[in-house]
Amino acid sequence: MPLNVPIVENILSANDRLAEENHSRIEAAGVFSINLMASPGAGKTSLIEKTLPRLTDKFRVAVVDGDIATSLDADRAAAAGAQASIQINTGGECHLDAVMLHGALNQLDLKQFDLLIVENVGNLVCPADFRLGTHKSVLIASIPEGDDKPYKYPGMYRGVDALVINKIDLLPYIPFKMDFFQRGVEALNQGVITFPVSCSTGEGLDAWIDWLIQNIKR
């Protein structure tokens, strides 16, 4: 048992070193990159499908999809307009790590793209611990998940740069206390930029797209 802590620290330290290398490669290519995280079913792929058609007339977008199995999400990203779509099957791992993204980057000519979207494995625990090397980390929360998630999974909410609250069209039908949810978020990540959206109706997506465009242009 005493060996568990140093072993975990060594794993994370090695991951962080490769994440820095990934970041340097992405930065040198002039690509803006995001790590998109959420629980299963929160709407990661749906958000990508709604985002791509509004960007690909002006920007070149690559998508890397992480999942335990299948290429379903990568196929959906390609159909939505991604110029490149790569699937990473983790074989049971509950998150992407810097090694996995490094392998995907080797398949891309990064200089051909303006935006790299990395869709992490659906999970509210592990992804927060493994840096990938992207510029920003984005968490999607969804109304059906409940308003208690910031309290139950503080690690995920504490470390993100932006928060998307998806499926707000369901607020009239689900007992979700937005003020309770937001208090939990603020306690962990004060002032985090937040986008309430509905991928079904399109509500709120303009602000999300504008944020992406501003960062791409930087």
The rounded distance, in Å, linking the Cα atoms of 144 and 166 is 9
Look at residue 4 in the predicted model and tell me its pLDDT.
45
Q: Which amino acid, residue 153?
A: Y
Q: DSSP assignment, residue 85?
A: E
Distances in Å between the Cα of 57 and the Cα atoms of 45, 54, 90, 119, 196 are 20, 7, 32, 21, 25
The rounded distance, in Å, linking the Cα atoms of 57 and 203 is 21
Structure token digits, residue 33:
């990159």
Of residues 167, 163, 205, the one with CA closest to residue 186: 163
Q: Which domains does the chain have, with CATH numbers?
A: 4-217 (3.40.50.300)
**pLDDT, tens digit, 9 for 90 and up, residues 153-212:** 999 999 899 999 999 999 999 999 999 999 999 999 999 999 999 999 999 999 999 999
pTM of the model: 0.92
**pLDDT, tens digit, 9 for 90 and up, residues 93-137:** 889 999 999 999 999 999 999 999 999 999 999 898 899 999 999
